[in-house]
Amino acid sequence: MDMQVVDVPEKGRFEVRLDDRVVGLASYHVDGSTMTLPHTEVDPGVGGRGIGSALVAGVLAAARERGLTVLPYCSFIRHYIQQHPECVDLVAPADRPHFGLETAAH
């Protein structure tokens, strides 16, 4: 099983591909130094394999690499950040209360 997370900027999304087949996506929009993340979806047929988590990890790593902060409007991404406190710094301190992340930072 070959899994890749690929940025497809012309479609405004990251795709997660399993053996060259798109099985999930995370839509995004970049405005200045902020990446807005409104939606994530994974094919239910491949659920439970950690594909969604791998997708979010790839998106957040790309945001970090590009020096962007994120606005995690997608509940799946918010939950991932809550479970991975090392990612909370990607959400600007002023935005954390809006997303329920003010207590996730240690």
CATH of the domain at 51: 3.40.630.30
Domain range for residue 29? 3-99
Q: Please count the structural domains in the chain.
A: 1
Q: Are 14 and 5 in contact (CB under 8 A)?
A: yes
Q: How many CB atoms lie within 10 A of CB 100?
A: 13
Decide if 94 is inside a domain.
Answer: yes
Q: How confident is the model at residue 102 (pLDDT cuts 50, 70, 90)?
A: confident
Decide if 104 is inside a domain.
Answer: no
Mean pLDDT of 40-66: 96
Decide if 106 is inside a domain.
Answer: no
Decide if 8 is inside a domain.
Answer: yes
Decide if 105 is inside a domain.
Answer: no
- Considering only CA atoms, which of 18, 61, 16 is closest in space to residue 40? 16
Q: How confident is the model at residue 103 (pLDDT cuts 50, 70, 90)?
A: low
The pLDDT of residue 82 is above 50: yes
> Which run of H or of E encompasses 18?
strand 13-18
